[in-house]
Amino acid sequence: MIHNMNKMNLKLIAICLLFVTLASCRKAEFQPEVEGVQVPAEDLTITLNEVLEASPYTLFKAAWKRSTMNSILEKRGNNTPLTLLVPSDAAFIADGMTLEVINNTSPELLDSLLLYHALSIAVNPKDLSERGENTIGISLLENTYIKVKGYDNQYQTDPYFYRQYINVSGNELLINGKKSGSAAATLAKNGTFWPIDHVLKKPEKTMLQALQDDGRFGMYVEIMTKTDMLWDEAMMGAVDRDRFPKGLSIDYNYLVFKSIFAPTDEAFHQAGFKTVDDLMALNHRNPLPYFDWDTYEQVGTGYATDTLLAMHRWGRLFKEKDGWGPGDDNPDSFYSNDLNNKLLSDYALTTSGYTGTIPIMYMPFDFGKNEAGQVTLKVKSSTHSAATIVEGDINTLMGPIHAVNRLMPPKDFKF
């Protein structure tokens, strides 16, 4: 018994030394294979629970002990890989989660908080540094009211689990596009223990709800809603179209992960459109589409504002199609740290379709950064000025909304 206790004490001392090393190390002390990325501390003989127990993160530990996480992970399999994103005590306190609050919070609510901070894979910082794009970490927190398209079968649905998009830049950890702490982590035999500097907030809204509630995107939502209504009145149900909410809300009880560039009201004002009536006047510049009941054909294809705003949703309005329909959409859920030419310049937004003959739609934007470090984007070959992302990574259930300060019309569009 004494031998076992001594063995455990030695292991705890070793774990504590790992945290001392992480706290005291400087960039110059590391010799990483990838420049600027800290090498994680490793002790593959210890478990995540042992790392947690020896760590200085007292409030996370208190939440863990009051929760039922040990039971949840035991059912999942104690040796199943896991990454714990562990907010510091300062982060918990800044979020109002003091020890008193934690001790008065139900275990069920603490489970939800901790499951959102637990990923179903063991993430190695070095592996992240060698990837250009974000790594999608599927959390252990499920929303039982939402489904996603089936991974193995697109005609079925899978459960919705909240996601964390993770990467490292230099010595910094990025989660969902935002700086979240140091790139240094501790690797244990059943996963990764990664301290972070703020409590992560799970998204509560769909993209449509976020756009409607924000207050800055009123003109964008209103003009798209009005043109949908115009179409319904003109076609009287004879011809359908992809309505504005499609893909921005939960359709048929499932959602699609994506990102969009939402123009603020100021973006419209800067382009000379002071009101939605001004935008409707632009639509009336050309004959409006209608359905000819004599020939039983649609006349006209859409509205000028559809074209004006198409690039704010990656220009997918311009997808080509054949008798089998358009090509499938490739993922476009990109956070701000993904938005660069190195990663996305030649990215294919669509496939070549069922027949393999439909022209693939490639990334229509050139990305850059301004002097303030904000991401800019410009439609390729366009004479219009680049738009700036004035607030990026507004997180939703689907992915990020990026608020932009300018409209981004196609290259030949004039208004």
pLDDT, tens digit, for every residue of 295-352? 999 999 899 999 999 999 999 988 888 888 889 999 999 999 999 999 999 999 999 9
This prediction has a pTM of: 0.89
Nearest to 243 by CA among 283, 251, 409: 251
3-state secondary structure the chain: CHHHHHHHHHHHHHHHHHHHHHHHCCHHHCCCCCCCCCCCEECCCCCHHHHHHHCCCHHHHHHHHHCCHHHHHHHHCCCCCEEEEEECHHHHHHCCCCHHHHHCCCHHHHHHHHHHCEECCCCCHHHHHHCCCCEEEEEEEEEEEEEEECCCCCCCEEEEEEEEEEEEECCEEEECCEEEEECCCEEECCEEEEEECCCCCCCCCCHHHHHHHHCCCHHHHHHHHHHHHHHHHHHCCCCCCCCCCCCCCCECCEECCCCEEEECHHHHHHCCCCCHHHHHHHHCCCCCCEEECCCCEEECCCCHHHHHHHHHHCCHHHCCEECCEECCECCCCCCHHHCCHHHHCCCECECCCCCCCCCCCECCEEEEECCCCCEEEEECCCCCCCEEEEEEEEECCCCEEEEECCCCCCCCCCC
Q: Which residue has the higher pLDDT, 127 or 332?
A: 332
CA 72, 78, 83, 89 torsion: positive or negative?
Answer: positive
pLDDT per position as a tens digit, 185-238: 999 999 999 999 999 999 999 999 999 999 999 999 999 999 999 999 999 999
Whether residue 166 contacts residue 137, with contact meaning beta carbons closer than 8 Å, is answered with yes
Q: How far apart are the first and last CA of the chain?
A: 82
How many residues are listed for the chain in this entry? 415
CB count in 10 Å sphere of residue 258: 21
Question: What domains does the chain contain, in order, with CATH numbers?
Answer: 2-196 (2.30.180.10), 207-404 (2.30.180)
pLDDT of amino acid 292: 94
What would the mean pLDDT of 102-115 be, rounded to a whole number? 98
d(CA 351, CA 357): 9
